[in-house]
Amino acid sequence: MPDTDLLYRQPDRNLALELVRATEAAAIRAVPFIGRGDKNGADGAAVDAMRSFLATVDFAGVVVIGEGEKDAAPMLFNGEQVGTGRGPACDIAVDPIDGTSLTASGRRNAISMIAAADRGSMLDASSVFYMDKLVAGPEAVGLLDIRRPIGENVRLLAEAKGKPVAEMQVGVLDRPRHEGLIEAIRAAGAGTRLMLDGDVAGGIDAASHDGALDLCVGIGGSPEGVATACAIRALGGFIQTVLAPRDDEERQRGLDAGLRFDHVYDAEQLVTSDNTFFVATGITDGNLVAGVRRDGPVIRTESIVLRSRSGTIRRVTADHLVQKWLES
């Protein structure tokens, strides 16, 4: 006989479909701020909506990866408890808007996202803000190594995928720190797709079998790296990361927190559970999901829902009555 109490304590597929309600709400509430230049206003509206919906979900969630410490409220802060407290105990990573700058400027690829896994399974890398990342699809598993020169990794992946290097597309955040990396990718013969923000969506795109990117590389936020790993475990893809402290003080904080430097963290070390969830709803149009649309009395959202244990990728299109949102 199955241990029904154990099953109840473990996150199941119903949780993913509950969490998508929270990302849908955050995305819808962010829409009035698209292109308005108000990053804080957009983020605040999305946070309020996500927090309200999470409060109705039957689970005992703890925000392991949020938007700062408690004194930064109204952000969903690290250590905040969410949900009703009944049901499975989970670590969650949240970003009501991954791409606040994209939203404020009206650019592509802004999403609202939540990742979840069994309690105690997510690496808490909050003491070190950045990590170097290498993300790709299943072909890269056992083949690529973040410690190799990027050109070598590009050539190896191109061979594994059976395509010319000249057709390889590599996503990189458009930052001054990546000038040398971008030059090396182009010198290897591959093309770059420079991302203004949102490397979570870029990483998932690179790991997806039908994605526009073959590889996503470079230094980005550590929280985003752990959240991406939840999705990668569901996609059967590849991720390696190395922590990138900005100074000696940050490095020491990481050491005090038990983090390892000059160490390659893979997907299983970033999230030790094999029962991970990743949900994201588009705010603006992007390669991963379409943005929020209004058509007369209806608001349409598109979301992606990933679960590692079942290996499923679901796309959820929902129509929401505008009147209900005006009343809420």
For the stretch 98-143, pLDDT in tens is: 988 999 999 999 999 999 999 999 999 888 999 999 999 999 999 9
Strands (E) located in the chain:
60-65, 81-82, 89-98, 111-118, 130-136, 169-173, 191-195, 215-221, 238-243, 265-266, 277-282, 293-295, 298-307, 312-321
At residue 75, the pLDDT reads 65
Q: What is the mean pLDDT of the chain?
A: 90
Distance of alpha carbon 100 from alpha carbon 106, whole angstroms? 10
Residue 161 has pLDDT above 90, yes or no: yes
Q: How many CB atoms lie within 10 A of CB 66?
A: 24
Q: Which residues define the annotated binding site for substrate?
A: 98-100, 130, 175-177, 197-199, 221
Q: Which residues define the annotated binding site?
A: 43, 67, 95, 98-100, 130, 175-177, 197-199, 221, 224
Helix (H) or strand (E) holding 105: helix 100-105
Residue 96 has pLDDT above 60, yes or no: yes
Tokens of 166: 């000249």
Residue 188 has pLDDT above 50, yes or no: yes
Residue 79 has pLDDT above 60, yes or no: yes
Mean pLDDT for 213-237 is 94
Tell me which residue has tokens 């670590």.
Answer: 91
Mean pLDDT for 264-289 is 95
Residue 29 has pLDDT above 50, yes or no: yes
Mean pLDDT for 269-276 is 94
Confidence tier at 9 by pLDDT (50, 70, 90) = low
Closest to 266 in 3D by CA, of 141, 172, 174:
141
Tell me which residue has tokens 């072909």.
Answer: 139
From the number of C-beta atoms within 10 Å of its C-beta (0-12, 13-18, 19+), residue 3 rates as exposed
CA distances from 275 to 22, 49, 232 (A): 20, 26, 12
Residue 326 has pLDDT above 80, yes or no: no
Residue 254 has pLDDT above 50, yes or no: yes
Left if phi > 0, otherwise alpha if psi is -120 to 50, otherwise beta: which for 191?
beta
Residue 167 has pLDDT above 90, yes or no: yes
For 164, residues 6+ apart whose C-beta sits below 8 A from its C-beta are 158
Residue 11 has pLDDT above 60, yes or no: no
At residue 194, the pLDDT reads 94
Nearest-5° angle of CA 304, CA 277, CA 9?
140
Q: What is the phi/psi pair of residue 28, to 5°?
A: -65, -45
**What's 45's DSSP letter?**
H
More confident residue, 4 or 145: 145
At residue 10, the pLDDT reads 56
At residue 13, the pLDDT reads 58
* pLDDT tens digits for range 311-322: 888 999 999 998
Q: Which residues define the annotated binding site for Mn(2+)?
A: 43, 67, 95, 98, 224
Domains, the chain, ordered by start: 4-119+276-324 (3.30.540.10), 130-270 (3.40.190.90)
Tokens of 33: 């701020």
Left if phi > 0, otherwise alpha if psi is -120 to 50, otherwise beta: which for 127?
alpha
At residue 77, the pLDDT reads 81
Tell me which residue has tokens 């039908």.
Answer: 210
Q: What is the pTM of this model?
A: 0.89
Confidence tier at 157 by pLDDT (50, 70, 90) = very high
At residue 70, the pLDDT reads 40
